[in-house]
Structure 1
Amino acid sequence: MVGQFGFASAVPLLNQVNNLLLAHTGRLPEDPRPQTVSRGVICWPGGQTLPAGDSNCRRRLATWLLDDSQPPTLLLPEQEDINGIRFPVWLDDTGRRVAADCPQARAHTFIVWPRPLEPWLPPAERRSARLPAASDHCPPLQGNDAAPLMLSGVRDGAVIRQLPGQENVTLPVSTTGGKGRRWWFLNGEPVNGENNRLSYYSISLDVINLS
């Protein structure tokens, strides 16, 4: 029926049930929340409480806590490097990243949004804007803002079948993230040719019929 969507149908029914319960009991219902559930305030993107004015609290939101626990933001596997969304760095007096043994270096941790959200973030919230640039005078030993190297197109343990009428399978695979040159290896052996250093490669597999 036109206009009878979920909200229009469910809310009047719930109001009727609520009125019947109030008329039957004659008193307001008690709070059904368990004693272990309480209100809390957390910060995104870390998912935990931070002091007022902390630069890592990009959004402060009210939430419900179970046993006063505040688990950190759950990250997707293989989307982040070993640091996750927390980047411990050393900063100089100008706010640039430096090595730990540089003069007057101070420790600081930046909490950034998970990498899959980058395309939808405002420019000021992206990692390129949040993480300070490296110092020219005393640069850190290695950059820690690079995306982890990921392989797309095939997964470990995948079962691959050819299309009907074909005797082999071609798998286009590609890499994202990381820095520096890329080298392709197939069955532990380096792939020959100019395509070895590209970020994409096509694997051709011969299918063996065991039936």
Structure 2
Amino acid sequence: MPGQFGLASAAPLMLQVHDVLVNRDSQHGIAAPVQPVPLNVGVAAICWPLGQPMSKSDPNCRRQRFAWTLDGTTPPTLQAADQPLGLGLQERVWINAKGLRVAAGCPDAQAQDIALWPAPLEPWLPRAERREARLPPADPDCPPQNLNQEPPLSIVGVREGDNLRLPASSRQALRLRLSALGGSGHRWWFIDGVPLADTDTRQDFTPTLSKPGRYQLSVLDESGQTARVEFSVVE
């Protein structure tokens, strides 16, 4: 039936059935069953993005959550399948007295580990939480040795071979929120070879697509690096 899909029909029906069953038991004085917790299962306060226990005041504790543990083990955050090569969730840098990033041999350099969010989350993170903002700026008087060795340019927000669906039961276009990691300088965005936008390193590219079909998205940075993905939009 046109206009009927899971979110509009199946989900409300499921919630109604759940409410009927819960209220029926409570009206008859039947308590909800309590599932015993195994002795080797515990609860720990963890911090995102690393998924490990740490003090809430730690600068790398960007969000505190509670998680189940098994045999006292708290697994770390797994790398996303589409995490760009060379980009980890923790980066060791050296900071001087001014708070700037420097080479390890510079005066007053202190090592500091900085936790970073998984790359696929970049388009949805507040700007202050993105990789560009989390890493301190470089000191031009004693820059880090790898300053010019930027990770390869990569596109975040859509993956190779993705099938994206147009909004159901509406005539609205599909709006994407895309960003680029790695590379350097300004970025120029193209869809099917047509230039559509240019952004700086902290700006998103938000194209709208209204027609189904196959698309080729590419981005070019100031150093000449390019990245490209192909994806489809379906009804």
- Output the TM-score relative to the length of structure 1: 0.63
- Tell me the distance in 2 between the aligned counterparts of 1:68 and 1:148: 38
Contact 1:45/1:112 (8 A) holds in 2: yes
In the TM superposition, residue 81 of structure 1 has moved relative to its aligned partner by: 3.5
Measured in 2, the distance between the counterparts of 1:118 and 1:136 equals 27
Going from structure 1 to structure 2, the CA distance change for 1:42 and 1:145 (only over 3 Å counts) comes to farther
Residue 140 of structure 1: which of 141, 144, 164 is its match? 144
Indicate yes or no: 2:199 matched with 1:199.
no
- 1:117 is aligned, of 121, 141, 150, to 121
8 Å CA contact retained: 2:138, 2:144: yes
1:43 Cα deviation from its structure 2 partner? 0.5
Note the alpha carbon deviations across 1:121-173, whole angstroms, 9 max, x for none.
Answer: 1111111111101111111111399444559868xxxxxxxxxxxxxxxxxxx
- Report deviation, 1:29: 5.3
With over 3 angstroms needed to count, the CA separation of the structure-2 counterparts of 1:4 and 1:124, relative to structure 1, is closer
Measure, in 1, the Cα distance between the counterparts of 2:129 and 2:149.
Answer: 14
- The question of whether the paired residues in 2 share the 8 Å contact of 1:127 and 1:145 is answered with no
Would you say the 8 A contact 2:47–2:54 is kept in 1? yes
With normalisation by structure 2, the TM-score equals 0.57
What's the counterpart of residue 79 of structure 2? 75
Q: Which amino acid aligns with 1:10?
A: H
Are 2:60 and 1:56 equivalent residues in the alignment? Answer: yes
Which digits, 9 at most, give the CA deviation of each residue in 1:14-45, with x for residues without a partner? 3435777948xxxx855511111111111011
Q: Which runs of 5+ in 2 are unaligned?
A: 1-8, 162-179, 185-223, 229-235
CA distance in 2, matches of 1:6, 1:200: 43
Deviation of the 1:108 alpha carbon:
0.2
Identity of counterpart residues, as a percentage? 40
CA separation of 1:178/1:198 partners in 2, compared to 1, >3 Å: closer, same or farther?
A: closer
- Judging by fraction of residues, say which structure has more strand: 2
What is the alpha-carbon distance in structure 2 between the residues aligned to residue 67 and residue 33 of structure 1? 13
In structure 1, the gaps of 5 or more residues are 155-175, 181-196, 202-211
Change (3 A) 1:199 1:4: closer
CA RMSD of aligned residues (A): 3.4
- Structure 2: how far apart are the matches of 1:199 and 1:13? 56
Instruction: Figure out how many residues of one structure are paired with residues of the other and give that number.
Output: 160
* 1:36 paired residue number: 40
Asked if the contact 1:87–1:111 (Cα under 8 Å) also holds between the matched residues in 2, the reply is: yes
- From the superposition, tell whether residues 145 and 33 of structure 1 become closer, same or farther in structure 2 (CA, over 3 Å): farther
1:7 matched to 2:1: no
Which of structure 1's runs of 4+ aligned residues deviate more than 6 A? 18-21
